Amino acid sequence: MRIRKPTRAELLHLWHRAKEVATPHRGSYGLYYTAIALILLGAFSIINVVDYLRSDSEILPPLKVHADAAVQPLYTFQESLNQTTPENVVTHERSMCQPLQPGWLQYENQNPGLKMSSKEWKALDLFTAGDSALWLDKDSVTCGDTISIHAAATSRYLREEGPRTFHVIRIGYYGGTGAREIWSSKPTKLVYRNTPSVRVLTRMVETKWPTTSSFVVGSDWSPGLYLVTSTSPKGVIENWSPFFLRSPANTAKLLVVNSTLTWQAYNTFGGRSAYRAPVSPKTERSKVVSFDRPYIGSGVMHMDRDAVSLTQYLESENIEADQITDVDLSMTPHLIDGYSGIILSGHPEYMTHNEFAALLSARNQGINLALLGANTAYWQVRLSASPSGANRRMEIYRDARIDPLTTPDKLSVEFGNVRINWQPSLITGEKTAGVHVKGDLALASKPSWLKIPSSFTIPGWPINSEIDSQALGQAAPANAHVFLSGPFKLKNPNSKAAGIKSRSLKAQSIWFTLPSGSAEFVSGINYWPCELSGFCVESTLSPTSRSLLRSITTQILHLWETKAVGPKIDPTAYVKKSTSTKKK
């Protein structure tokens, strides 16, 4: 008789259980309990485990190769200054939420928050799903929308028996607690469900879990970032999934565009992501990733770093900002209309062609950009529907010869690939300088428009930092100013990243202005928003460095609330332009 194959969740549970049991017992006892765990694993049969990990790859042939896509001419920075906003693909539904009154954010944050300290936020362990996990059928909503929760037990052997409760929490300041509870469900007994095996050529993982619970977004809920959590009987958060409640258009002067596409690219639920697979990641990784699955792994860590931390910081400083997703902007590029500034946070690595074009158009209209991250607009992707709705899958083939679509605006390869030839520096003025690095940033040149010390260093950036440095050439602005700069070192000098000669391993924060009057600030490091809040799981900076970073960011964002702020912060650029015009 063949022994039943264990699920990945079961194997992971056994491993964690072995560590839980063995850790308190040093010496021979620790070895004894670890040996018991290994025997249990053996009972499942090592042969079956290997077979389980390899089975998907053995039954799925490689994707068919076709003719290569055509090479495109370089889109220059000068040409990009004429980029207009793409037409809306869909008509964005009008917000059904109540109009916001002046001072609404300050009033909102007077509500009592969760009983959580910054230490408890930093201790959250969401990298692997707990005994329960969930996903939502919507991640961008308005008041009155119904959101369905699709949840399941992810292990047959629960650490903590009993029903799970779903909570809706709004991320904010709330006196330093970081969030407040808005709604909760009745305790719900979850059904155990296997992670589905991959049976499609694109190696996509997609759960078809039925609706477990649902709730209606209240007409009096404040706009912003919300998380739906799955919580154990003892109150432990085991998993969460986000949604954004949109404000009535142009409620604030600033607009945050959240990078849900990047979070899904790194989401490893089901053993696969746009990077990973049980075996042969290069060929067996997912070419299409689905929103119809829970967040775990780097996907949930990106969310914590880029969205949760930024929102907690913004609301602690009483900076009002409307929030949308990158999918919203992709489908409705004219959402940028009427704003003074746009904020991108952390790691907006994946974008559609429409989103890239909309950002170029924004700064051509005098809308200021604050790019609080790095590795922006590296991969072009496209969207497609899932059984739960439109734009719930992201396609990223990375190879023009296997991508079914090969037109420059649909092809899923690097934006900088010659088959597209839209360099990320068109938006950022920078290029990728390092991945998985650590180091310090120091003041390179003090802008006259910032009230900061004349000399300082911000040391100790996290070890998995991704960094950018100033780009030069036809696809970059010629008037960029280097603000912060510093050498970084690879986390692993023997990694593949060490062999990429084009990477300088120098992080730089820059700023520049454009003919439209818009101004751009580019932080050049992906952990910038994480280090602003004090709640971020991965933060490493000292309180002194965090205080300085917050001061810099707050000053920039308040200036960016004035549309076309460029002449105010860089008057000489406009004097020169005006003089040269008169001479003509």
Q: Is residue 50 part of a domain?
A: yes
Q: Is residue 370 part of a domain?
A: no
Q: Is residue 33 part of a domain?
A: yes
- Give the mean pLDDT of the chain: 90
Give me the pLDDT at residue 56, please.
Answer: 55
Give me the pLDDT at residue 18, please.
Answer: 52
Give me the pLDDT at residue 35, please.
Answer: 57
Q: Which domain holds residue 52?
A: 8-59
Give me the pLDDT at residue 401, please.
Answer: 98
Q: pLDDT by residue (tens digit) across 90-136?
A: 987 778 888 899 999 999 999 999 999 988 999 898 898 789 999 99
Give me the pLDDT at residue 40, please.
Answer: 53
CA distance 537 to 469: 26
pLDDT higher than threshold 50 for residue 3:
no
Give me the pLDDT at residue 251, please.
Answer: 92
Position 299 confidence tier, pLDDT thresholds 50, 70, 90: very high
pLDDT higher than threshold 60 for residue 276:
yes
Give me the pLDDT at residue 501, please.
Answer: 72
Q: Is residue 113 part of a domain?
A: no
Q: Summarize the confidence of residues 331-336 as an average pLDDT.
A: 96
Q: Is residue 46 part of a domain?
A: yes
Q: Summarize the confidence of residues 58-81 as an average pLDDT.
A: 94
Residues 469 and 508 sit within 8 Å (Cβ to Cβ): yes
CA distance 375 to 432: 6
pLDDT higher than threshold 60 for residue 4:
no
Q: Phi, psi at residue 290, to the nearest 5°?
A: -110, 145
Q: Is residue 324 part of a domain?
A: no
Give me the pLDDT at residue 418, please.
Answer: 98
CB atoms within 10 A of CB 164: 28
Handedness of CA 398, 401, 404, 409 (dihedral sign): positive
Q: Could you tell me the two tokens for 561?
A: 């609330």
pLDDT higher than threshold 70 for residue 346:
yes
Report percent pLDDT > 70 for the chain. Answer: 88
Q: Give which of 318, 397, 284, 388 is closest to 350, Cα–Cα.
A: 397
Of 196 and 321, the one with more pLDDT: 321
Q: pLDDT by residue (tens digit) across 380-389?
A: 999 999 999 9
Q: Summarize the confidence of residues 171-176 as an average pLDDT.
A: 96
Q: Give which of 156, 154, 157 is closest to 135, Cα–Cα.
A: 154
Position 423 confidence tier, pLDDT thresholds 50, 70, 90: very high
Handedness of CA 416, 421, 425, 430 (dihedral sign): positive
Q: Is residue 247 part of a domain?
A: no
On the 0-12 / 13-18 / 19+ scale of CB atoms within 10 A, 528 is buried
Q: Is 436 helix (H, G, I), strand (E, B) or coil?
A: strand
Instruction: Tell how far CA 157 is from the center of its chain.
Output: 31
Q: Could you tell me the two tokens for 65?
A: 């190769």
Determine how β-strand 146-153 pairs with β-strand 213-216. Answer: antiparallel
Q: Which residue is associated with the tokens 């109540």?
A: 98
Q: Give which of 243, 273, 215 is closest to 135, Cα–Cα.
A: 243
User: What's the domain count of the chain?
Assistant: 1
Q: Which residue is associated with the tokens 């390899």?
A: 54
- Whether the full predicted model's pTM is greater than 0.85, yes or no, is yes
Position 492 confidence tier, pLDDT thresholds 50, 70, 90: confident
Residues 322 and 246 sit within 8 Å (Cβ to Cβ): yes
Q: Summarize the confidence of residues 464-481 as an average pLDDT.
A: 97
pLDDT higher than threshold 80 for residue 581:
no
Q: Is residue 18 part of a domain?
A: yes
Of 51 and 165, the one with more pLDDT: 165
Position 467 confidence tier, pLDDT thresholds 50, 70, 90: very high
Of 502 and 4, the one with more pLDDT: 502
Among 56-60, 221-225, 324-328, 404-408, which is the least confidently predicted range?
56-60
pLDDT higher than threshold 80 for residue 357:
yes
